Amino acid sequence: GVAAEARGLTKVYGSGAAQVHALAGIDLTIESGRFTAIMGPSGSGKSTLMHCLAGLDQATSGEVVVGDQRLAAMSDNELTAFRRHHVGFVFQSFNLLPMLTAKQNILLPLDLAGVDPDWTWFDELIGVLGLADRLGHRPTQLSGGQQQRVAVARALMSRPRIVFADEPTGNLDSRTSAEVLEFLRRSVRELGQTVVMVTHEPSAAAYADHVVLVADGRVAGRLDSPTQDDVL
């Protein structure tokens, strides 16, 4: 994994009287090979922050550095290539293709990029995620937790430097949430992955090594090695 850093990050939507300061000066270090949760109330700027860190959205001012790369210095094509090769995404809604098997879903991004899979890595991931006997199943034949584990495997298959998970347990019950969070934590512990998760659920944030609290577009606090009580 790699570290990511935001320095003096601002994001203004709209203009004139309709201006919204979604980010009002964020300074933040996401540590390499660690699990960081970004928490905060609805509308506090979590998604905007994540999109700026992931190179999906451009900040109004300030800097994002992922590893040794300044995102602001990249062209649109370079940013797209950066996301495709170095960033993994996990979504609340899984975003699996229904007509493909678990295995085909996991391999799809590499297929599209014309990259040969590293089968040793594939086997390791499948083992860590407990998906070995589910590879031939289609999404509808899998539980919610299994579908999200497939989505996690898909995100990790290209060995991204950093993985962004946007409310990954938002559609899961508490038991399957725990399952997915445990696997995200294992991918950090056992594979050295850097994972950034946006969540509003204290029970989810308690799995992270670090919790960054965002309020009104600013970093309002930071907790290291949090327990659920700390987060609440």
Query: Least Å distance between CB 92 and ligand ADP?
Result: 10
DSSP class of 182: H
Rounded Cα distance between 22 and 215, Å, is 10
Question: Does 150 sit near ligand ADP (CB under 6 A)?
Answer: no
- Best CA proximity match to 169, nearest among 136, 134, 206: 206
Which 81-100 residues touch ligand ADP, going by CB under 6 A? 83-84, 89
- Best CA proximity match to 2, nearest among 155, 161, 191: 161
Nearer to ligand ADP, 48 or 69 (CB): 48
Question: Does 123 sit near ligand ADP (CB under 6 A)?
Answer: no
Pairing outcome for strands 4-13 and 20-30: antiparallel
As beta bridge partners, residue 37 has 197, 211
Query: Least Å distance between CB 199 and ligand ADP?
Result: 10
Span from 78-86, 123-131, 168-176, 189-197 in contact with ligand ADP (CB under 6 A)? 78-86
Question: Does 192 sit near ligand ADP (CB under 6 A)?
Answer: no
Three-class DSSP category at 134: helix
Site string for ligand ADP, 3-42 (x = CB under 6 A): ----------xx-----x-x-----------------x-x
Rounded Cα distance between 31 and 215, Å, is 21
Rounded Cα distance between 83 and 75, Å, is 12
Which 43-62 residues touch ligand ADP, going by CB under 6 A? 43-48, 56
Binding site for ligand ADP (CB under 6 A): 13-14, 20, 22, 40, 42-48, 56, 80, 83-84, 89
